[in-house]
Structures are given as C-alpha cells and as structure tokens.
Amino acid sequence: MRVATVDGLVTLFYDGSKELFSDELYYEWFEKYEYDDSIDADWENWEISDRCKRYWRERQSWQQIIIVEGVTVIPEYTFARCYNIKRVIFSNTVVRIEEYAFYLCRDLIFIKLSINLALIGECAFDGCDLVSVFIPSSCRAIKRCAFSRNKNLSIFHVPQQIKLGTNVLAQTKVLEESHFEICQYRNHSDQVQIHNWLKNINNDDKYSLHRACCSFQPLKQVILTIILQHGIGAFNIKNEAAITASRYLRENPYADIKETDIIRGYVMKMMGEYES
C-alpha cells in the first residue's frame, strides 16, 4: 500500500496487503475516550502508548481512499473512525463491504461504489456525511443501519430487487423529510412500507426520468426519449422526498453528461435541428 497526494488530498491506495485495523490499539484508545463523540478530543495528551498514538495519527492522516483493482472485500472496521477521509473510490472488483468498514468517517461526503458490489454490511457507513448514494443493480443486500446517521443524506437510489435491513436510513434527510417522519430510531411506520417507498422510484413510470438519471451509465438518447414522451416538465416531477430528476443527475458520480446538454438536444430536436 502506498500514500500519495492526489487532487490535494492525502490518499491511501488500499490493496488489502496489510490489515489496517487493530483491535488492541483501537480499544486502548477507546478506553480513554470521553464519551462525548468529540473528534477534537486531545487524545495526543492521553496516557496511551506511543504505538497507539502512531496508529491513530496514521488513520487520521488519510483524506482519500482509492481501492485498487484486485481487492474484492473491505474487511470489518478497516477504516472505522478515520475522521478525515472525504472521498472513497472503489474499484469494480470489490463485491463486499463488511460491517463497520467506514463507521464514523465523519468527513466522508463522496463514495463511488463498485458496479459489481453485492453486499454492504451492518453499519458500514454509519455516522458519515454522505449526501447522495447510488447503489448498483448488482447489490443484493444492505444490512441494518448501513447508512444511518448520515444527517445530510437526501438522495438514496436502490435497485428494486435489493433486500434492506432495518434502520438502513435512520436519522437521514431521506426519511426525515418523507411522509414517514422517522425520528431518531423510533419507527412510526412498518419497515416493509418504508422499503417499498424507497424502491418506488424504480417502479413508477412517472419516475422513469429519475431512473435514467440514476443509472450507472446515463445515456443522453435514453433521457431524450423519456423527455419526448413526458415533456420537458418531467425534469420538474419530484418524488415524495422532493428531489428533482435534474438533481439526481448532478449528484450521480457516474454521470458524465450535463443536464443542459440534454435540454439543448431536446429543444433542437423539437425545432427540427440536429447536432452534427
């Protein structure tokens, strides 16, 4: 594994050749932890071993993680409490993200998942700061609390066939702004109903533009066809969480087309003009 500066961020290229999480050093630090969940705690002055301090300094130095080709599994707790990680980019060889893998990575705002991902474990991204998540169609299960406590998470796109655990989105904007009015971990509605609501975007024809914008390879031709069928107003149709299709497109890390290009193409087509 190597560390380099990429896009101004201290970046760890994770190849799985070394186990990064240490039970011994994690719990030596945690025993001294003042249970106020403060990332500013002055742990450097705590009575912990120099080895433990070196371990935590290294974990807090990473700002970006790039999972290299060949890695298939991110083991449990690998990056837990790495408070300064902002971005994680997964190679397409990753199929499993185990429990607590990125637990309480509080600065983590962006992830680009593997298109072959099959499982996201319990609390894998609990307590991060993600704003949008696009789950690939290959994913079969997301375990309990996997994305809970991402307080700014407002876009969560999941394939229809996926199996969702309990409280996957507890304490996120996705549910807090929904008609379910989820507060903390209290369920005011049946979990099945919540899960069906999350997947409605993938079922209902009026959300076809959302689906196109959320795909892992959004195609201008597909989106143009939908606009022609539903009219330019399709960009203003909102789901129950009040997210427009255009925002899905902007937030999707896999989209490499511009909303303005789509609209310009639509108008040109309506006027009988065509791009060369």
The CATH number that domain 2-202 falls under is 3.80.10.10
Confidence check: pLDDT of 117 > 60: yes
Mean of pLDDT values over 153-160:
88
Interatomic CA distance for residues 111 and 108, integer angstroms:
8
Confidence check: pLDDT of 180 > 70: no
Confidence check: pLDDT of 6 > 90: yes
Q: Which residue has the higher pLDDT, 238 or 165?
A: 165
Q: What is the 3-state secondary structure (H, E, C) of the chain?
A: CEEEEECCEEEEEECCCCCCCCHHHHHHHHHCCCCCCCCCCCHHHCCCCHHHHHHHHHHHHCCEEEECCCCCEECCCCCCCCCCCCEEECCCCCCEECCCCCCCCCCCCEEECCCCCCEECCCCCCCCCCCEEECCCCCCEECCCCCCCCCCCCEEECCCCCEECCCCCCCCHHHHCCCCCCECCECCCCHHHHHHHHHHHHCCHHHHHHHHHHCCCCCHHHHHHHHHHHCHHHHHCECCCCCEHHHHHHHCCCCCCCHHHHHHHHHHHHCCCCCC
Mean of pLDDT values over 120-135:
97
| Length in residues, the chain | 276
Interatomic CA distance for residues 54 and 57, integer angstroms:
5
Q: What is the pTM of this model?
A: 0.87
Q: Which residue has the higher pLDDT, 102 or 182?
A: 102
Domain edges within the chain: 2-202, 205-270
Confidence check: pLDDT of 190 > 80: no
Confidence check: pLDDT of 182 > 60: no
Residues 6 or more apart whose Cβ sits within 8 Å of residue 36 = none
Confidence check: pLDDT of 193 > 90: no
What are 225-263's pLDDT values in tens digits? 888 888 777 777 777 667 788 888 889 999 888 888 888
The confidence score (pLDDT) of residue 84 equals 97
Measured on CA atoms in the order 241, 246, 252, 254, is the torsion positive or negative? positive
